[in-house]
Structure 1
């Protein structure tokens, strides 16, 4: 992977958990999600070593909530205190060895977008971060909704096409085009 000049930027690793990536995950992307692990790890270390933020917005559900809109759409996933909610593969180890660092920020989210019902926008603005690099899963769900909100909040976007995945190949391809053609994102 090419070395990049990061400037004042942050890497978002969206929902890269066992339930979304592992073979036995409740709502898994399977092989496409597993295939991007090394790219996510490389980017994590590059951003961290360059003094930029590595941010891990991670889906959290607390049982079956009849009022949550996802309950009607998807099986239970990313449940509190379960194996399914742990970060997938080596990212869990990377996070555990960096979690006390100032430039690593893990937070819970309960909607598709990492901005909905969270302090992410305030967190980024207080650190004068204006450029976001998006990775994770699912390209056409949580990554997409985070990108749309980021665009509407005037963040510059870069999507790493070899570090996003979906269980829907058509949705994945559509989202990559949408990032570039509608949100003005740079696709690398």
Structure 2
């Protein structure tokens, strides 16, 4: 069994009017993300959606000082973007679909993701979503440190920084030993 992680693919990170949007780069990967989700789901593999969750003006969260308010609980900005919203609505109760909030860049930090994966004997994680050089990167570093095999789908990650995106793809491969693929 393998796991597909769809990281932070929400309106605030992808939609034109998102609070911290990747814009066109994030929108361009929408169909690929949904196709991968369906492929993994049909194969019986895990489809995991770690999604940023914040409280407005949280004085204790470090991102409050770094970024504008985003993915605020109960707002449309935190909803999944585009066709992924429909896919999640249809599949979220399936045994192999796991939707959970996260409050740090890494999908592993302060969550039970590692326990979820290990309890299902999943050693191979496939990373998609946004932002390539922030949340996807930090998730990859933690996956590496936890001895997971990492595949990054270059055609299913995006960032608001083209330079950061390119750098992160190289870092995944050259420093983390990840398999970076492009369909």
Give the TM-score, by structure 1 length.
0.96
Corresponding residue to 1:63 among 41, 56, 61: 56
| Cα distance in structure 2, aligned partners of 1:14 and 1:112 | 10
Which residue of the partner structure matches residue 117 of structure 2? 124
Instruction: Tell me if 1:93 matches 2:86.
Output: yes
Runs of 4+ with >3 A deviation? none
Which residue of the partner structure matches residue 73 of structure 2? 80
1:78-100 CA distance string (max 9 Å, x none)? 00010000000010000000011
Corresponding residue to 1:140 among 127, 133, 136: 133
| Cα distance in structure 1, aligned partners of 2:34 and 2:103 | 24
Deviation at 1:26, TM superposition (A): 0.2
1:100-138 CA distance string (max 9 Å, x none)? 100000000000000000000000000000000000000
Which residue of the partner structure matches residue 22 of structure 2? 29
Instruction: Tell me if 1:46 matches 2:46.
Output: no
Deviation at 1:34, TM superposition (A): 0.1
Deviation at 1:64, TM superposition (A): 1.0
Instruction: Tell me if 1:161 matches 2:151.
Output: no
| Cα distance in structure 2, aligned partners of 1:23 and 1:38 | 17
Which residue of the partner structure matches residue 4 of structure 1? none
Gaps of 5+ in 2: none
| Cα distance in structure 1, aligned partners of 2:7 and 2:173 | 19
Secondary structure, in 3 states, of the residue corresponding to 1:26? Answer: coil
Gaps of 5+ in 1: 1-7
